[in-house]
Amino acid sequence: MKYLITIVGPTAIGKTSLSIDLAQAFNCDIISCDSRQFFKEMQIGTAVPSMEELAGAQHHFIQNKSIFENYTVGDFEKEAISKLDELFQTNDYVVMVGGSGLYVDAVLKGFDDFPEIDVSVREEVTSNYEKLGIEYLQTELEKRDPNYFEVVAKENPQRMMRALEVCIGSGKPYSSFLNLKKNTRNFTPILIGLEAERSVIYDRINQRVDIMINEGLLVEAKALLPHKDLNALQTVGYRELFRYFEGEISLEFAIEEIKKNTRRFAKRQLTWFKRNENTKWFDYLTDRQNIIEYVKEFKI
């Protein structure tokens, strides 16, 4: 039996640290499914593991792509499954870690099949977005698919446009097409969630943002400003600083917006991950040995 130890939870909860401890305990590799840590131009703002952490275990899918590449969740699913097939040839365990629920689901369940959408629908949605702004996408998506609206990144126009296109083009909610396809997998997932009181999560997020600023996030974001319209950069921590660089808001306000939007993101992550009843949740301070024992004793 092959086991994919999958660590989920909100941002800044300690998933990276736990993943390394588990990888060392089971002498196995780590696959990252953080959809922004793929990009080599985005290091500080995506909390890429440190050099010391990366040296603690063999990692895959960390800074392996460029923001200029068109890299989709479907592409990731194919590459991740191929890498897992390779790793499971020599080990019964692999650790997967990340906060991107869509990417976790793609590996565990398979990427969903969506209907072909007429190009005219796409053009209409794009045109309305350009004229009316992101509020148009948010309002329409909430009306047509409140379930998906609850968990989608509401600051990500590309993701909302895609969902709205499917809603309009098919006449059905985007969420109705999710999790229908049951791909067979050659592994058994062991789902581990890390959680804490909301006040603790928010404090950890605020501290992490301050650390990012001190480590040079402004310099990193300034270098990316000419490419701010790329999909990869529709990301908390960069969007807010782009507004600062363009004179829309003060630096102090931008930093507070990063903290606020990251807290909102963490709330959506928990909503997404809590839907899976097979996840075993641990307090983030739980002794690592207890989690290691849970994995060792895991039975289907």
Q: What is the pLDDT of residues 19-47, one digit of tens each?
A: 999 999 999 999 999 999 999 999 999 99
Residue list, annotated binding site: 9-16
Residue list, annotated binding site for substrate: 11-16
Q: Is the pLDDT of residue 102 over 90?
A: no
Please state whether 292 falls in left (phi above 0), alpha (psi between -120 and 50) or beta: alpha
- Residue with the larger pLDDT of the pair 112 and 243: 243
Q: 300 pLDDT band (50/70/90 cuts)?
A: low
**What pLDDT is stored for residue 154 in this prediction?**
86
Sequence-distant (≥ 6) Cβ neighbours of residue 22 within 8 angstroms: 5, 7, 95, 291, 292, 295
- Residue with the larger pLDDT of the pair 105 and 255: 255
Structure token digits, residue 157 = 């126009």
Residue from 22, 16, 9 nearest 95 by CA: 22
pTM for this prediction: 0.81
The per-residue pLDDT for range 168-220, each reduced to its tens digit, is: 988 999 988 886 666 689 999 999 999 999 999 999 999 999 999 999 999 99
Q: What is the mean pLDDT of residues 74-98?
A: 95
User: What are phi and psi for residue 188, nearest 5 degrees?
Assistant: -110, 125
The per-residue pLDDT for range 268-298, each reduced to its tens digit, is: 999 999 988 999 999 999 999 999 999 999 9
Average pLDDT of the chain to the nearest whole number = 93
User: How many residues make up the chain in this entry?
Assistant: 300
**What pLDDT is stored for residue 109 in this prediction?**
87
Task: Report the percentage of the chain scoring pLDDT > 90.
Answer: 77
Residue from 232, 246, 247 nearest 45 by CA: 232
Q: What is the mean pLDDT of residues 109-129?
A: 83
Q: Which of 49-63, 142-156, 238-252, 284-298 has the lowest mean pLDDT?
A: 142-156
Sequence-distant (≥ 6) Cβ neighbours of residue 9 within 8 angstroms: 15, 99, 193, 194, 195, 269, 270, 273, 284
Sequence-distant (≥ 6) Cβ neighbours of residue 82 within 8 angstroms: none
Residue list, annotated binding site for ATP: 9-16
Q: 159 pLDDT band (50/70/90 cuts)?
A: confident
The per-residue pLDDT for range 225-261, each reduced to its tens digit, is: 999 999 899 899 999 999 999 999 999 999 999 999 9
Sequence-distant (≥ 6) Cβ neighbours of residue 297 within 8 angstroms: none
**What pLDDT is stored for residue 121 in this prediction?**
87
**What pLDDT is stored for residue 74 in this prediction?**
85
All domains of the chain in start order, with CATH: 3-112+180-296 (3.40.50.300), 119-177 (1.10.20.140)
